[in-house]
Every structure is written in structure tokens, then in C-alpha cells.
Amino acid sequence: MVKLTFYGGVREIGGNKVLLEDDEGKIFLDFGYPYSKYRVFFEEYLKPRAGAGLLDLLAMGLLPHLEGIYRTDLETENLWQQFRRAGHYRKLEDIDGILLTHAHLDHSGHISFLREDIPVYATASTAFIAKAIQDSGKADFDQQVCYFTPRVEECLKGWKQGAYVASSSGDHQRRFGVADQSGLSEEARNFWGRATRQKKLDSQPLDDIGKCSFNLRCFPVDHSIPGACSWGIETSSGWVVYSGDLRLHGKRGKLTEAFIKEAAQLHPRVLILEGTNVDKKANIAEKEVYENAFKVINDAKGLVIADFPARDMDRLLTFLQVAIDTKRKLTILPKDAYLLKTMRLLEPEIPDIAQEDAIVIYQETTASKSPAQWLKKIYEEYSSKVVLAKDVASNQDDFVLCFSFWDLNELPSIQPGAGSLYVFSSSEPHNEEQEMDFRRLHKWLEHFGLRGFGLPVERNGKWEIAEEEKGLHASGHACGPDLLRVARGIQPEVLIPVHSEKPEFYVDNLSGSGIDIILPTENRTVEI
């Protein structure tokens, strides 16, 4: 008998944490950051306290009450005493690992809190993106997926109580086992072990997934980030297949098609399937995004800003093609350059920034005198490609600037000219905070006389994109009919929906298909 316990991803989009237990062992399917649950209690300036370690997250119900799986350096004194009587408390040691499906934080983020000897199994791309995100990001204590800075209790002078502070000794890299490690170049392995912050990195060589006590299958699938996969786990009750996030309509939709075929051949007992876009009837393909973006940018006079999701490599390449075809330069941020360079270590078909005339790198106006190591390296390596606000300001017709809402504060240095365009190629707001940001975005555009295109507009409390401006965003997730095609194509005995606000969709649409649907309950176990 196999037991599946759903600690996250139940009636929420993201935060997937599914524990699979069998005679073979125990393994988690993703260990994600539950954004919507966080927002119930926290916001930008009200955060879990880093110095309190695990306490705030456990107390606020953001981490499962599972003693034994978390980093011991984050366990404050007598931490577990207050949780031992909680409803779903369990002592859980000997975990075999995490099967990570992709590097979006809603699937990977809470790995930050897990013991460093628990291996993470993923594709090489996912492992590398996780490192690139951390190397070039803020590396808060709750986003240390690939490596972490241990915390030590320190008695501050004259104070009674110790605080848990980041140790200065160095970073510890987690153990990653990758499904496709055999073809990795020397350069790629060097990247994996390289410290890019001021601290030294206690690095761990990449392993393979053969070390896991379960018999595993890793199926590459298409999603809005490179390296996404679905997993198959052989259990005493038959194969359990876990989709992660996927789509059929992207540039690599064939991968997902192959996954359906191969997973079907396993005759799985269980399929755990995402359901983000169950309400969508159809998809927009990346090719349409190219065509629509080309049309509007080709007609544009003045500056063009393209706003698309971070780490969506397909979209970046779409806008690169548009830039080439409209004789402009795609102006990316250093963190995008860092990711592009990292991805090229694994996929040689990714363009080389040094060789691609149509790519330049934007240097923020307030750049620090002593930039972080990774940033310094990017500026040095591509020194002939760095452009400043004044370069963009004086030749606005020449650029497609890859900015998002968070980069708008560069605009006072650029002063976009009349007729400049803001092309929105991302998803509409999903919560009140994002709605506030969209109102601010509209104000910024108004202020600088920028014309928005493809941008959701608020009408009677609803955010909608004007009909003639649609088709600028291809979602990372399959629409309802495609999800049903995945389910029917794989034909499991049991389907369990996760990562969905409307899991009933599967009950309503798969009756009579021979597939049993089990709707999971948070913190509860399903036995199969």
C-alpha cells in the first residue's frame, strides 16, 4: 500500500508538498513556497523573522509540522514542544529525497528549510536555474534552495537572549541528484561548484538519480521555465505519476506529448495532475505571441518596453527574434544575462550573448561601486555590451527594453519619448496586491505618456485585456481540454488533482472515463 499525504497544493496554485510513503521509503513530490498562504499573514514589510528560524513558519501553518526533516540550525530552543500536540504533527526522519519538478519557487522554495543531507532530485537545468536564481538574487533565508548559510546562535553583548544569525563561515550546497548528468561539460560542473557570493561555498558534486531507493522515471515536459519534468515512482501499489506543471501548446509541447505516451505505458495506479488553468478553453501559442508582438513593435516609434515573466526563456527568445526582425536591440537585465549564460552550459542552442549583436545588457543607473561578484563578472565579460540609461534615452528607437513593473523606477533616467510603447506579455493580476501594482503600473505609463499594449485594464472590478490586444502571452499551463487529454491519454486508475483552485473540474469532466477522482484534503493521507 502506498500513502500520499498532501501538505500543500490543495485548492491553491503552488506550494505543492506531497509525501509519498511505501515499503521502499519516503519521498516528497516538490516542496514549494505557498505564496497564497503567505499572503494571508505576511507582506513585503511583515515577514517571518529570519532570526526565529522555523518558529514563525510552523506557528503560522506555512510549514508542515514534521519533526526531523528540517535544518537543525533553524531549530530554536524547545521548538517542537509546542507543536507535538498539533493535529498533523509527526516525527519523520529517514526521508529519501525530494523529487523537484522545476525551479519555480512555488515548487522549490521551501527546500530552503530541509536538512542538507536530504537529496533533491531534478533535471540538470532545474538544478542550474535554482543556483542561478540564488546566485543573482537576494538569497533571503527562505529562498536558499541550492545552498544555504547555516545560522548560529549568538549572544549579543549585554543582551540576555541569543539571536540566530547567518554564520560567516560559508555556504553549504545541498546534494542534488540529476536525471541527465552524464553529458555535463567540465565548464558546467565548474559552474555548479562555484561560489558567486562573498562567502566560500562548501560544494557538493552532482549525483545521479540512481542513488534513490525508489525506481524513478523522469519525463521532460514543457512549461514556462526550462528543465521542467514530470516524475514516475514505482511503488508496491503500482506506478505513481506526478505531473508538476505542464502544457502542450508551448515550443516544446512534443516533450509533453511523449510524456503522455510513456506514462500511459506504465499503466499507472495514480496520476497526480495539476489544474491551474482548468477554466481556460483554449491556449495562445508562443508563435502567436511572436506574430502579435512583431506587429505592434514593428509599427512603434520611440522606445519599446517588453514586460514578460522572469526566467521564461522561450519568451525571452521570442522577443529576441522580434528585436532582430524590427532592427532593435534586446536590452536585458544582468540577471537575465546570467541565466542565459547558465542555460547555455546545458543547451548549446541558446544564443551566446557575446556573439549575438541584437543583445545588450542594461546597467542600472544607481549601480553600486562594489557590485556583487556575479554582477561584476557579467559587466566584465560583456563590457562592450553594457548600455546605460543615457544610451537608451538618446536612441530610443533602437531598443526593446526588457523591464517589468519592478524596474519602472529607471524611467526618470530614460524619459521615454512620445509614442513609446509598453508591451505587456505576462499574466493578469491574481490577488489584491497585484491589482494595486497594476494600478501603479497604469499611473507610471500615464505619467510618462507610454502607450500600454496587451495590458489588463480594470473595468467594473474586473481586469481584462482589450479584445484587439490579446494574444501576447502564452501561459505555462495547459488549458482545460488539454488537461483532460493528458488525463485520458495516461488513463490512470486514480487521478488526484493538485495545484488548482477548482479540482472539481476533473470530477465533472471525467465521469464515465474509468478514472476514479480523489480530491485531496490538506494534511490528510490517501491510501492506495
Residue ranges binding Zn ion (CB under 5 A) = 14, 106, 245
- In 3D space, the residue among 343, 281, 278, 279 whose CA is nearest the CA of residue 317 turns out to be 343
Helix (H, G, I), strand (E, B) or coil at 271: strand
Please, which residue, 298 or 431, has the CB nearer to Zn ion?
431
User: What b-and-e string marks burial along 439-471, b requiring 16 or more CB atoms within 10 Å of the CB?
Assistant: eebbeebeebebbbbbbbeeeeeeeebeeebeb
- In the complex, the smallest distance separating the C-beta of residue 100 from Zn ion, rounded to whole angstroms, is 12
Please, which residue, 14 or 220, has the CB nearer to Zn ion?
14
- In the complex, the smallest distance separating the C-beta of residue 104 from Zn ion, rounded to whole angstroms, is 5
Please, which residue, 14 or 177, has the CB nearer to Zn ion?
14
User: What b-and-e string marks burial along 371-405, b requiring 16 or more CB atoms within 10 Å of the CB?
Assistant: eeebbeebbeebeebbbebebbbeebebbbbbbbe
Please, which residue, 12 or 307, has the CB nearer to Zn ion?
12
Phi-psi group of 27: left, alpha or beta (phi > 0 → left; psi -120 to 50 → alpha; rest → beta): beta
Which DSSP symbol is given to 277?
Answer: B
Number of other residues whose CB lies within 10 A of the CB of residue 25: 15
Please, which residue, 22 or 245, has the CB nearer to Zn ion?
245
- In the complex, the smallest distance separating the C-beta of residue 223 from Zn ion, rounded to whole angstroms, is 8
- In the complex, the smallest distance separating the C-beta of residue 394 from Zn ion, rounded to whole angstroms, is 41
Q: Partners of 399 in the beta sheet?
A: 329
Non-local CB neighbours of 478 within 8 Å, separated by 6+ positions? 246, 247, 248, 249, 256, 277, 283, 486
Please, which residue, 274 or 410, has the CB nearer to Zn ion?
274
Report the alpha-carbon distance of residue 337 to residue 360 in Å, rounded.
9
Report the alpha-carbon distance of residue 147 to residue 174 in Å, rounded.
6
Q: Partners of 496 in the beta sheet?
A: 272
- In the complex, the smallest distance separating the C-beta of residue 107 from Zn ion, rounded to whole angstroms, is 5
Q: Are 273 and 491 in contact (CB under 8 A)?
A: no
- In the complex, the smallest distance separating the C-beta of residue 47 from Zn ion, rounded to whole angstroms, is 22
Cell of 205: 558534486
Please, which residue, 243 or 331, has the CB nearer to Zn ion?
243
**Dihedral over alpha carbons 239, 244, 248, 254 (to 10 degrees):** -60
Please, which residue, 228 or 305, has the CB nearer to Zn ion?
228
- In the complex, the smallest distance separating the C-beta of residue 127 from Zn ion, rounded to whole angstroms, is 18
- In the complex, the smallest distance separating the C-beta of residue 32 from Zn ion, rounded to whole angstroms, is 7
Number of other residues whose CB lies within 10 A of the CB of residue 229: 27
Q: How does DSSP assign 189-200, residue by residue? A: HHHHH---SSS-
Please, which residue, 73 or 245, has the CB nearer to Zn ion?
245
- In the complex, the smallest distance separating the C-beta of residue 430 from Zn ion, rounded to whole angstroms, is 12
Please, which residue, 283 or 363, has the CB nearer to Zn ion?
283
- In the complex, the smallest distance separating the C-beta of residue 494 from Zn ion, rounded to whole angstroms, is 22
Report the alpha-carbon distance of residue 193 to residue 186 in Å, rounded.
11
